[in-house]
Amino acid sequence: MLTPGIDRLLTRLPGHLGIRWVRSGKSRRVCLWLLCLALTWSSVTLGALPTLTVGTNVNITKSTANNAEETIAINPKNPLNLFASETASLATKYSLDGGLTWNNCNVTALGASIGDVAGAFDDYSNLFLVELSSSSFHVVVGLSTNGGATFSLLYQTASSGNDQPSVTVGPSSTSGQGSVWITYTDNTGSGRINAQGAAVTGLGHVGTFSAAQIAPGTSGANGGDYGDIVVGPSGQVMVTYQSVNGSEGPDDIWINLDADGLGAGGFGTQSIATATHVGSFSTIPAQPKRKIDAEAGLAWDRSSGPYHGRLYLLYTDRPSTNSPDTDIYVRYSTNNGTNWSSPVRVNDDPIGNGKSQFLPKMALDQTSGFIAVSFYDCRNSAGNNTTEVWATVSTNGGVSFLPNVKVSAGVSSALVSAIAGTSFDYGDYTGLTFYGGVFYPCWADNSNSTGNNPSGALSNFDMYTARVTVNLPVVMVNPRRSGKNFLVSVQTTVGKTYYLQSAPSLTNPFWTTGTNVVGNGLLQDLVDTNLATQKFYRVLAQ
């Protein structure tokens, strides 16, 4: 039972914790207000940052074939259900136990493919898979309604000669209805960026894909490729891509917005979101044959968190064309891509150390608005040519990123004969998915750190993943009454002092400071021995 004052109570109070104590008549009750997320946002005040815990590396494929260029997706309706696939050998797998064990998907209905796989689950548990057909590179869209066990053929483009399709899901511009969108490069149209969307109304209920919409400005010399697509909170859709100049760079990363999503309006004029020194074929020591592009990626915050509506752009840049010192950057926009923030460097190894970070992927947790980024990283490679996988998270809307964590247990290399002979290196991209405070990078690994790559170490890649958990700092637990005492436990940090304050109402600007404790790194109690009929409590740290 909430009293009329509760709405006002739900006003966020940065930098402290709020608790309302109500004691009335015969029934005594406590209305507790635990702002765990607010605590994270106010972590500067409280002196505690979220941490990331990396789980055991899992070898998804365990195959003698070469496995590289991955996609991974988590089912928001059942987060123990994951899907992963890769281009080099088209291993296509699903998991029902949170990524610990993996089964083969049946994709025979989709026909023969040359890969360029990408997958996404929607909120109805629909799993969409896009890939290129072996015959003429049509974009094939598969649908699984059973978590990845079997796929049916949902759609195939009329256009041929396509490249690098992506798929994404979200709401539509019609209330209560979802949408699924694909984008790809149509090379019969000289590098046009095409997008097509369909309404989704339930599990297995997917409408007809719209005709191919061309992103204006993309054709001929300004053709785009290596892009991404994302759906915003009101069903609006954005594509990103970089110019295909076939060179080391410099280059531009472009965007077009379809403001009404599945509505009749098309994509607007293209605009440059950022310049980069990474061209569409940039040579780095770790990926010398396949080369890399900037791997532009998009995420849009549709959560109810504090950064709802924020749009994120991920890309790779370097200090100058031909520099091996590639870095990963994120910019954000609060106005549908009209303006972008300054770039924030995601990798946290020393600036200017010459080491390559490449093939980044970004994913947004729609339960919180947190964004994760993972990437191959040569920071620990003396020759800047062997890789680990590193990752990090931003909990503050892309303003900063947590200290990076190493996700891969071993060190991999594309310079070994088995991989160099393919000229495919690590492929063109990696996978990442993020839901409910847990994210899963997916990458090509030939370290054999798990001991179950049948090709042994430093031979053919297997596809690996690991569960990475975001741990929010617990700073206040177990608020409780004991006789005439009110108590709350606080996780303290050395160097801070914690004060319990109370006030008779939230509109009263005068808070009475009660007891305090000096932080010692342990859980400590703050006590008010003068419980009144109604009090509002907060804990300050300074």
Rg, the chain, Cα only:
25
Backbone angles phi, psi at 410, to 5 degrees: -120, -175
Provide the β-strand partners of residue 294.
none
Choose, by CB under 5 A, the member of 325, 365, 425, 445 that binds Ca ion: 325
Q: Taking contact as CB under 5 A, which single stretch among the options 16-24, 77-85, 153-161, 350-358 is the one that binds Ca ion?
A: 350-358
Task: Give the torsion sign (CA, 250, 70, 163, 297).
Answer: negative
Pick 251 or 445: Cβ nearer Ca ion: 445
498 closest CA partner among 472, 478, 523, 473: 523
172 binds Ca ion (CB under 5 A): no
Q: Applying CB under 5 A, does 116 fall inside the site for Ca ion?
A: yes
Nearest distance from C-beta of residue 309 to Ca ion, angstroms: 19
CA distance 477 to 526: 11
The end-to-end CA distance of the chain, in Å, is: 34
What is the x/- site pattern for Ca ion, positions 418-457, by CB under 5 A?
----------x-----------------------------
327 touching Ca ion, by CB under 5 A:
yes
Of residues 125 and 446, the one with the C-beta less far from Ca ion: 446
Binding mask 59-98 for Ca ion (x = CB under 5 A): ----x---x-------------------------------
Binding-site size for Ca ion (CB under 5 A) equals 14
Amino acid in position 35: L
Chosen residue from 395, 430, 460, 502 binding Ca ion by CB under 5 A: 460
Reference 227, options 164, 280, 290, 139; nearest CA is: 164
The contact pattern for Ca ion, residues 240-259, with x = CB under 5 A and - = no contact, is ------------------x-
Binding of Ca ion at residue 295 (CB under 5 A)? no
- What is the phi-psi region of residue 104: left when phi exceeds 0, alpha when psi lies from -120 to 50, beta otherwise? beta
CB of 525 to Ca ion, least distance (A): 47
Q: How far is the CB of 260 from Ca ion (least distance, A)?
A: 5
d(Cα 80, Cα 23) in Å, to the nearest integer? 42
Q: What angle do CA 442, 105, 433 make, to 5 degrees?
A: 25
What is the CB neighbour count within 10 angstroms for residue 262? 23
Nearer to Ca ion, 251 or 327 (CB): 327
Among 98, 204, 207, 263, binds Ca ion (CB under 5 A): 263
The only residue of 123, 260, 348, 525 in contact with Ca ion, by rule CB under 5 A = 260
CA distances, 159 to each of 32, 116, 118, 164, 359 (Å): 58, 16, 18, 13, 27
CB 62 within 8 A of CB 454: yes
Q: Which of 122, 293, 462, 528 binds Ca ion (CB under 5 A)?
A: 462
Question: What tokens were used for 509?
Answer: 């600007």
* CB of 42 or CB of 460, closer to Ca ion: 460
Question: Can you tell me whether residue 221 is helix, strand or coil?
Answer: helix
Query: In angstroms, what is the minimal distance from the CB of 505 to Ca ion?
Result: 49
CB of 117 to Ca ion, least distance (A): 9
What residues line the site for Ca ion (CB under 5 A)?
63, 67, 116, 258, 260, 263, 265, 325, 327, 355, 357, 428, 460, 462
